Structure formats: structure tokens, C-alpha cells
Chains A and B, each alone.
Chain A
Amino acid sequence: MREQSEIKDNIQNRDRIHVVMFFLSLIFMVLGIFILVWIVKIQTTYEVDSRVIGLFRPVEQKHVDHPVRGKILATDGRPMAISAPLYDLYMDCTVRKKDYAEDGKDSLERAWKAQARELARYLSLEFKDRSADEYATMILKGREKGSRYLRLQRNLDLSTIQRVKTFPLFKEGPYTGGIIVEEHEERIYPYDSLARRVIGYVKEQNRIGLESSFDTELHGTEGYEWRRVTDKKRWIRDLDSASVKVQNGNDIRTTLNVDFQDIADKALRAQINANEDIRAGICIIMEAKTGAIRAMVNLSRGATPQTVLWERENLALREVGEQGSVMKTVTLLSVVEDGFVKSLEQTIPTNNGLVPKYNQDIHILDYQRETGRRNISVMHGFEISSNYVFAYLAETYYGKNPQELFDHIYSYRLGEAFDFDITGLGKPVVNRPGTAGWSGTTLGTTAYGYGLSVTPLHVATFYNGIANKGRMMKPYLVESIEKDGKVIRKFVPSALNESICSPATADTVTRALRAVVNSGTATRLRSAKLPVCGKTGTARVVLTPEERGGSRDPYMDINGRKKNQGTFVGFFPADNPKYTILVTVYSYLSNKSFYGGTMPALAVKEIVDKIYALDSDWRPELRRTAHVPDMKEKKK
């Protein structure tokens, strides 16, 4: 019986458990189906109430750190371009206007206006561009008209904006004082226009100069961090979220010498300002041994002479043109190196200045008349810059194989746009045999400076090769890339051509270049404080069809006006060259002629004299001979 009742109890218990388990599983099943349906609904149609989102979303903000753009430094470390924010100052003139318009708050409105007048007085004293009354009128009219964004000043620095924030009314803050300060990152160029075309800029799509070429180095990389709000309502970095540290841009140390740049800029300005017909001028100073560019000036006026001289375009790099007589040195170097001219005193017949097919050289007629001679030395022909002499040399020695001369031109790197730190170096135009520009007179005209179009930088690099005894250095502008004062990448000088000529040939040509200064076309440089070697060149500039106005002569308009360029290029001191220098001036359309031996030579003289006074290499030494006895009391 007992066993039977136990069995019955067990069955009853099991049934109860089964029932409970059944209901539980039913509940879970219904719940599961409900969850599934809910998931499908959320994924397809459900939209969360925006008020609810705010409650569930963590209070976090992504904060982007913008990198500070690297500096561009001169060779001695002086900054030529720095980044710092500038501030624009605005005012919301309508602050609290509605509040004060309520009944019984007239006195508050009157007090606000009184403070605004006081603010106007402070603004007038600070900026001195308007009187206190004018400022007060601006602000109070703005309040009447409901101006919420009245511009007061632009591009203020940090210390000024901090002072402004302490002015009456503004010190009350934006909600009562109405002060609005907007920050924008700006590039500061402490030397204003000095070397601005070399330094360049990056403004959206407009990118030029070193700022553009080294943008990836200067820019740096952005960083970000997630920020959360604390119990005290402060925004702090959320350490649980990912972050990327900002990397500020690297600094670029250039080869530019600020003092040389300043001297060259000033000397060139003086020459250009003295003559209204001059449109532009450039100067390149290059270190002979390394090719480091110590100064590159690119001054030009606008369309009319009345416009201010400014670094508008990089003519030194981009102005591809016929350089005139300065290219006679190319021919001289070639004929001496090839052994066609054994000595500069070697003579050639004068032939009344006539080489068949070429224009007569009147300089030779003058020479014949003055000296009575019927022959002329190569040296003298170079001194007086005779076109006849160089056409004669080219036709005599390269007439049968003109390519030989052009091979020299290419080996002097005058036929290519070599790699340079700033993009945009002009590509030379060489009218060699077999090209469309080749004619029966191209060989001779190339020999005296026409027919071959190059940039001033090409010319300076070529002369630097002569100064460097035949080793043609690659011009460069950037010495190193630095991070927090440490050099992370260094650029070493390199050669474009290890030997364009033998040292003996370079010495011979140097002697000819010295003669040009001593008794040739550049005698204005004879009195320079350091002995200078060089060559002058005067070239006519090919006019555009618009400038020609129907004239058939490519160098002259219908009124007989021409565009000239005058150049002096050389190096100093003559015996142990340290710097190569090139100065070119470009004229507007004019009836006047401009020569390399005048304005450019005068500018070079001023530059050489000032460099002589500043450069430590030429400091005289004084030996201390006097002996000052030690007057200290001897200890007993």
C-alpha cells in the first residue's frame, strides 16, 4: 500500500514539474518569437525617437587635431615662413536686446549702450583706424538694424585679441558683450616680399615654390582623439577610445642667405626703380663649390610701370629665352676645349665683320677703323662681344659638323630641364640640326647667343661650372629636413656633370671673363671690392603676335619698339671663385636699349661690395703683439 501511495505521489510530482516546464518553455518560445519579430522590425521599419537616442548615446565627441605646418628656414636658421593663427573680430550687436526691451529694463539697455560707447573708445585707441565716435556709431547702428555679425577687425594677432577681450563690454563675454572671435591658420612671412617666389605658397589649387614642392614634409599628419564629458562638465580625452597622435610638419632648411637675399633685392630694386622702362629683374647668387643657391630674387612690376615691384613670378626658373652674348662663353669654352683655339691671343681675319649669310658686325668696322688692323684676337673679340668673331669661330670649326657644338651644349646641360627643388624649371629650346628651327644661319646665331633659348638658372649653372674648374654642380635650394631642430634628412651637393671641361680650359675662359671686366663691356665692375669675372649680354626678346601688332619682325612692334633684356653673369673673387652671380633686367616695349654692362653690372657691383663687407672669408686679420702683464697680487 505504502509503495503504491509513493508511486502515486511521484507521478503527481512529475506531472506538476511537466506542467511547469511546459509553461516555462512556452513562455520562452513566445518570447523568442517576439524577439525575432522585433529584430526584423528594428532592421526594417523601426525608427528610434530622437529624444531617446540622446539618452542612450554616450556623450563623446571626436576631436581632430590639425598639425602645425613646418617652418621654412634660411641657411642660418632664421625663419622665412612660420605658421600661426590670426583672428578676425566680429560683434553681435543684438545681444540681450530682446531681454532689455521688456518693461522696466530700459536702464539696462541704456547701460549697455554706455558700455558700447566706452568700448568704441578703447577700439579707437587700439586700432587707430577710426575715431571713437565712428566706432560707437557703427555698433549702435548695428544694434538698431539687428546686425549679428558686424566686422570690426581682421587678421589680429593673439596678444591683440587677448587685449581686446579685456575691453569694456567685451569682457562680459559673447552672451552679453557680443564678442565673436574667429580663428584661421595663416602663414607668416617675416621678410615680406623677400624670396617670396622661392618660398611660394599653398592656397587651395594655387601651389608654387618650396611650399608646394615640399608640401608633404611641411604639412604633417592630422591626429584625432575621442573626448568625453566629466561630472564637472569638462571635456577630457576618453582613454578607452582609439586615438591618433598629431604629427606636426617638418621644417625645411634652405640654402638661402637672408642677408644676401636682402642685399640683392635692394640693389635690384634700386636699378629697376631708377628706370620706368624696366619691367622686371632677377638675381641669382650661387655658391661655386656646392651649387647652393644663396639668393634668388624675382622682382617684377605689373602691366604698367606704376605698379609696385613685387615677387610676382619666378622668372629665374621659368623665363625661357634667348640670352644674347652671355652664351658666347659656351662657344668659347667649346673651341678652347676642342683645341681649335690654342690661345686667346690667336687671331682671325676681320673680313669687315662679314661672315657669309650673316649680318655685318659694325663693331668690327669700328675696330678696323680705330686700330687699322685686319685681324682680331679671340680675346678681344670676346671683350667687345663681337658677333662676327663667334659666328666665324662656329662656322670655321663646327661648320662641317654642327652637331659637335650641340653635343657640347647638351653636355653643359643647356638642352634639358634638369631636376630642381622647385618644380617648373623651363625646358630649353635648342634648334639643333634636323629640327624645324634649324636653318643655314642657326649655327652662327647660336654661337653668339640667339637660336638657343634657356632660363637664367641654366646660364648661372653653366658659369658656375667654369668657376668650379669644370665641375658643374646641380643647383639646389634645400639643405635639410628637420624635426624639432634635429636633422632627419640631409641633401648633399651633387654634380650635373663632373667635367664639362678641363681645369686648364676653365682657367683660360676665366682669363677671358676677367678681361671683359677689366677692358671689355663690363668695366663698371672694375672698381668692385672683389675682383669679378663675367660676361655681359644684351638680347632682344621675341614679341607675341599681340605685342607685334602686325609687324613682320618678331623682335619689334609696328612702332619700332623692342623688348630687351640685359644680363651680367660671372663669379667672384676671380682667383678663387666663391660665388657665381647673375643679374638680368627685362624691359617693357621701349625705344630705348638696355645693356648688360649698365644696370645689371651696377647691381652686381653693389651686391659684390656688400657681400665683401659681410662675408667672413675676407676679414683682415690683426695679430695681437702687445703683452699685458698679470697685475694680480701674489699670494704669500
Chain B
Amino acid sequence: MSLKTVWHAIRNTFKAIRNGEFLLRIRADKFYMHIMYLFLLMWMTILLSLQVDKTLSRVGDNKVELERLRIHHAEKEAALVKLHSASAAEIRLKQLGSEAALPNEPATVIKNK
């Protein structure tokens, strides 16, 4: 193949593009379905990538929220447990002016016959 032939091919390609005949010249109609399929794949890849980004953003938000709830739970648990001791109950009862105190005798268990 001479350089002249190559030059002709390049010139014809530009002319075909200018005239809007490029795809017809290369007989692209034969590959129409393939091109559409490729386009669909690329479109889906972009879409899925955006969806993945969106989901991972939500995962990040949820992680932060879960961590916040964990901290909140730990704090509330500690506060609750603090009250859940005999001494704490006695002090609270005293503050409230109650005469109730820790039992002196064990609780009686009622059993069926």
C-alpha cells in the first residue's frame, strides 16, 4: 500500500464524515445492535456506579447514626445501671423521705400444692 492510497483513504473518511455518510460507508448498519448494546452497557455502568456511590453514602450516614445510637445506648445503660444497686436505691428512698428499706427477711415463695 502506497502513501498515496493512505492519503486517499484519510481524505475520503473526512469527506464521508462531513457529508454524514461515514457510518453508511463503513457499513455500520450491520453492527447496529452491537453498538446499541455497547451503549446500553456503558449507560448501565455509569448508572450503577452512581447508584453504588449513593448507597455507600447512605451506608456512611447509617454508620454514623449507628455509632451515635451505640454511644447513646452506652450512656443510658450506665446511667440506668448506676441506679440499679441496693445502695443507690436506699439513698434515693431516703431522699424521697420513704420509710422503705432493704428487706430484713427473704421474700416468701408461694408454691402450688
Contacts and interface: CB of A to CB of B under 8 A. Distances in A.
Interface of A: 68, 78-79, 82-85, 157-159, 188, 190-192, 194, 230-232, 234-237, 239, 258-259, 262-263, 265-266, 609-610, 612-616, 618-625
19 contacts: A82-B77, A82-B78, A83-B74, A188-B78, A231-B53, A235-B60, A236-B53, A236-B56, A265-B87, A266-B87, A618-B106, A619-B106, A619-B109, A620-B106, A622-B108, A623-B113, A624-B112, A624-B113, A625-B113
Interface in B44-97: 52-53, 56-57, 59-60, 68, 70-72, 74-75, 77-79, 81-82, 84-87
Given A85-B71, A230-B57, A619 B77 contact: no
B102 interface: yes
A378 B109 CA distance: 43
Contact of B109 (A235, A259, A620): A620
Contact of B85 (A231, A262, A619): A262
Contacts of A68: 70
B56 A79 contact: no
Given A78-B84, A239-B52, A624-B110, A613 B105 contact: yes
A159 B75 contact: yes
A83 B74 CA distance: 7
Nearest to A83: B74
Contact of B87 (A232, A262, A621, A624): A262
Given A82-B74, A619-B107, A259 B86 contact: yes
B103 interface: yes
Contact of A158 (B72, B77, B84, B107): B72
A614 B112 CA distance: 22
B104 interface: yes
Nearest to A85: B71
B92 to A, nearest CB: 14
Nearest to B69: A158
Nearest to B73: A84
Contacts of A610: 102
Given A79-B78, A621-B109, A622-B109, A613 B102 contact: yes
Given A235-B60, A622-B111, A612 B106 contact: yes
A620 B87 contact: no
Given A230-B53, A234-B57, A624-B112, A159 B72 contact: yes
A82 B59 CA distance: 26
A158 B105 contact: no
Contacts of B112: 623-624
A621 B75 contact: no
Contacts of B68: 158
Given A236-B57, A621-B109, 9 more contacts: A190-B77, A190-B82, A191-B81, A230-B56, A235-B60, A266-B86, A612-B105, A614-B106, A618-B106
Contacts of A158: 68, 71-72, 75
A237 B56 contact: yes
Contacts of B81: 78-79, 190-191
Contacts of A234: 53, 57, 60
A397 B9 CA distance: 122
Q: Which one of B74, B107, B110 has the highest number of Cβ atoms from chain A below 10 Å of its Cβ?
A: B74
A78 B83 CA distance: 12
Nearest to B89: A262
Contacts of A159: 72, 75
B13 to A, nearest CB: 22
Contacts of B60: 234-237
A232 B53 CA distance: 9
A266 B109 CA distance: 28
Interface centre among B56, B59, B113 (most CB of A within 10 A): B56
Given A237-B60, A239-B52, A622-B110, A157 B105 contact: no
Contacts of A615: 106
Contact of B75 (A157, A231, A609, A618): A157
Which has the most chain A C-beta neighbours within 10 Å: B85, B86, B110? B85
A79 B77 CA distance: 8
A532 to B, nearest CB: 17
Nearest to B111: A621
Nearest to B57: A234
Given A609-B104, A613-B103, A624-B110, A262 B78 contact: no
A616 B106 CA distance: 7
A258 B87 CA distance: 11
Contacts of A618: 106
A30 B75 CA distance: 71
Nearest to B58: A236
- Pairs of residues from A and B, 5 with the lowest C-beta to C-beta distance, nearest first: A236-B56, A84-B74, A190-B81, A619-B106, A190-B78
B70 to A, nearest CB: 7
Nearest to A248: B70
Nearest to A269: B87
A607 to B, nearest CB: 12
B42 to A, nearest CB: 17
A83, A190, A194, A624 interface centre (most CB from chain B within 10 Å): A190
A615 B104 CA distance: 12
A235 B61 CA distance: 10
A159 B71 CA distance: 9
Given A84-B78, A158-B68, A624 B106 contact: no
A234 B78 CA distance: 34
B108 A621 contact: yes
A62 B107 CA distance: 59
A107 to B, nearest CB: 38
B18 to A, nearest CB: 29
Given A84-B75, A239-B52, A624-B113, A191 B85 contact: yes
Nearest to B107: A619
A619 B111 CA distance: 12
A624 to B, nearest CB: 5
Contacts of A85: 71
Given A82-B74, A610-B102, A258 B85 contact: yes
A259 B74 contact: no
Contacts of B75: 84, 157-159, 188
A71 B79 CA distance: 15
B103 to A, nearest CB: 5
Nearest to B56: A236
A293 B101 CA distance: 27
A54 B16 CA distance: 43
Given A84-B78, A191-B81, A623-B111, A613 B71 contact: no
Nearest to A625: B113
Contacts of B53: 230-232, 234, 236
